[in-house]
Structure 1
Amino acid sequence: MSRPEQTYRGSCHCGAVQFEITTDFPELTLCDCSLCRKKNALMVKVHESRFTLLAGAEQLAEYQFHTHTARHFFCKVCGIYPFHRKRVTPDNFGINVFCLDNFDPAGIPVRQAVGAAMP
């Protein structure tokens, strides 16, 4: 069961990268691809129209691997992964919910994405 739609603010650890998302949190996602396993992020999918980068575009580093379709972003200052552009749905972002201010993921269903088996 999703929550009421709300706007949430988030940032990297040092605050250089700041963003907002609007979502009702229908589910959260864990991915088993090699990168997601190592960064251990819990993500929510939001359409690009529901995402706003408020500050820090110049502080973002981008990492791509495998098909070079997904675009993973990290803060150059503190190294935190706040979000990525998704591979299968590139008009959506995967947001690291642990970067959201005062957010508790308890009670939201978690789906296991099978990224490791993607061709």
Structure 2
Amino acid sequence: MAFSSDGNPGNSDNLKDLIDISNKPVAISGYGSVTLNDAFTAMVGDTAIKARQAESDYQAKQAMSEQAIAARDNVSAVNSDEEAANLMTFANAHNANMKVISTANQLFDSVLQLF
């Protein structure tokens, strides 16, 4: 890469011109009159700030989503321990009813044998 305008080695006038252009104030909308280096730095900084804000917003929304899912699961989920206790209660009630029916059947048979 030749940095001289006439192509001779050691003459860096093109490089000096590029450095001068990068340090020359330029009017850029949203940033005012700044050098190209400062404008680039400001734009990269703005992009980094917006990216960090977007990441923070995403994490907050993700946490809210997880909380909503947990709340929904707490309301609609089945508690296995509670269901097992209910099953035992109903099984005991069924067994008790079967004993009543069995006793009634025996009494009925006894009454029929009297005649």
Quickly name the TM-score band, shorter chain normalised: under 0.3
Per chain length, whose mean CA-contact separation is higher, i.e. which structure has more relative contact order (CA < 8 Å, sep 6+)? 1
The normalised TM-score by structure 1 is 0.15
**Which protein has the larger Cα radius of gyration, Structure 1 or Structure 2?**
2
Q: TM-score, structure 2 length as denominator?
A: 0.15
Structure having the larger proportion of residues in helix: 2
